[in-house]
């Protein structure tokens, strides 16, 4: 059995990369499909007991957990970027560059 000091040392072993991205270790999925988010990850990311997390999946990149607030901030940033891109790709008439679809 592990002592409290060993558990605390294990919990604090996080590796950080560019942009503050962290690797907090590996977790095991229980028979009920549950995981435990490492304490250091919860502290670093401000995840408190009772917090709601979204579970996002990508067939090539795997799973990600995200708070609704962070997702909304990302989407707002994406919407702003999309609007800017659309402004730069329209000609003076307001049509997308290249004119109308030739099949019309």
pLDDT at 104 over 80: no
Q: What is the pLDDT of residue 36?
A: 96
Q: How far apart are CA 63 and CA 76, in angstroms?
A: 22
pLDDT tens sequence across 35-68: 999 999 999 999 999 999 999 999 999 999 998 8
Alpha carbon distances (Å) from 42 to 4, 46, 100 = 19, 6, 51
Does this model's pTM top 0.75? no
Q: Residue 77: is its pLDDT beyond 60?
A: yes
pLDDT for the residue numbered 37 = 96
For 35, which DSSP code? -
Q: How far apart are CA 50 and CA 93, in angstroms?
A: 51
Give the pLDDT confidence score for residue 95 in this predicted structure: 65
Q: Are 22 and 13 in contact (CB under 8 A)?
A: no
17-22: long-range contacts at Cβ-Cβ below 8 A with a sequence spacing of 24 or more? none
What is the mean predicted confidence (pLDDT) over 57-85?
Answer: 88
Name the residue ranges covered by the structural domains of the chain.
Answer: 1-51, 52-91
């Amino acid at each position: 059995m592990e002592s409290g000091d060993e558990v605390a040392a294990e919990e604090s072993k996080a590796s950080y990369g560019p942009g503050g991205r962290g690797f907090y270790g590996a977790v095991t999925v229980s028979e009920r499909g549950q995981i435990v988010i490492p304490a250091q990850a919860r502290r670093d990311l401000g995840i408190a007991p009772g917090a709601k997390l979204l579970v996002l999946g990508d067939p090539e990149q795997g799973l990600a957990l995200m708070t609704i607030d962070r997702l909304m901030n990302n989407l707002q940033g994406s919407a702003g970027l999309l609007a800017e891109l659309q402004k730069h790709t329209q000609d003076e008439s307001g049509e997308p560059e290249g004119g109308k679809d030739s099949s019309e």
